[in-house]
Amino acid sequence: MTDRSPAGLKRGWFERLVQQFSGEPQDRDELLAELREAGARGLVEPDALDMLEGVLAVGDLKARDIMVPRSHMTCLARDESADKLLPIVIESGHSRFPVMSGERDEVLGIVLAKDLLRYYAEKKLDDFDMREVLRPAVMVPESKRLNVLLKEFRKNRHHMAIVVDEYGGVAGLVTIEDVIEQIVGDIADEHDVDEDHVIRRDGERQYTVQALTRIGVFNDYFGASLSDEEFDTVGGLIAHSFGRLPRRNDVARLDGFEFRVLKASHRRIELLKVISPRDVLPPSESVE
């Protein structure tokens, strides 16, 4: 009789995987080769194989490899008035914020957006005291390995850590989501566009555009004339217009279009909100 319990199914999958190995792998490269061979034979699903490879890779990565650098951190000032904090919280879209004193390298703690919003909901802005909502900040060195960091995040129920350099200065920050994405891949949010549609119409004259959309594709869709002489993608062109890597909610205007950064990593722009000078229907709707 076949054991169909979760434990039995898990054991059966593992036993089939073990049987695939021709012998004990001698190192990580051999293990990966065996896993990929198992994937090719259908013993491991592609998504599971990707995650297994991610688990192995996490042991080699360090906090510095995935952190959001200090220049891209959204921080709150300890002495800022409550009515000036809400726009920062809303525009950033984050749920946790480092709180700094006058010196940027002095992290006083972490504030949760929900703790701030409670004061607005209860209309007690005059009673707001940063010290009452401040939570301890977790500090980790740049060299902290991600597998160790993930274990500490889970054990202590922390979601964010401040990364410090060898001199004790703030180098950046890393979240538990950043670590998990190294294993499972990017975690989609409400802004993400389906891979098959690099441009999505959200409303009249409003569109969400993947930053990797080729400029030629963008021009064909909108009847625009953005230059593709120096850059291939819309994100590259927009980043160049800023003269730096832009942050979330930064806005650029080119050829009558307004480009607002919806999502950006410390390496590149990922997603843009575009307001077109005229409404353009998707090709399928235009034909109809």
Confidence of residue 183 (pLDDT cuts 50, 70, 90): confident
Average pLDDT (61-74) is 85
pLDDT at residue 154 in the model:
92
Q: Which residues contact 9 (CB under 8 A, 6 or more apart)?
A: 3
pLDDT at residue 284 in the model:
57
pLDDT at residue 103 in the model:
58
pLDDT at residue 156 in the model:
93
Sequence ranges of the domains in the chain: 8-55, 73-182, 199-283
Amino acid in the structure at residue 219 = N
Confidence of residue 160 (pLDDT cuts 50, 70, 90): very high
Q: What H or E segment, with its residue span, contains residue 206? A: strand 206-210
CATH for 199-283, among 3.30.460.80, 3.40.30.10, 3.30.465.10, 2.60.40.10? 3.30.465.10
Tell me if domain 73-182 and domain 199-283 are identical in fold.
no
pLDDT at residue 213 in the model:
92
Average pLDDT (192-210) is 78
| The pLDDT of residue 187 is above 70 | no
pLDDT at residue 288 in the model:
38
Range among 5-9, 129-133, 211-215, 283-287 with highest mean pLDDT value? 211-215
Please tell me the least confidently modeled range out of 41-50, 152-161, 208-217. 41-50
pLDDT at residue 282 in the model:
73
pLDDT at residue 161 in the model:
95
Mean per-residue pLDDT over the chain, rounded = 80
Q: What H or E segment, with its residue span, contains residue 202? A: strand 199-203
Q: Which residues contact 265 (CB under 8 A, 6 or more apart)?
A: 68
123 or 107, which is more confident? 107
Please tell us whether the domain made up of 73-182 is placed in CATH 3.10.580.10. yes
Dump pLDDT digits (tens) for 213-261: 999 999 999 999 999 888 899 999 998 888 887 877 789 999 999 999 8
Taking the model in full, what pTM does it have?
Answer: 0.61
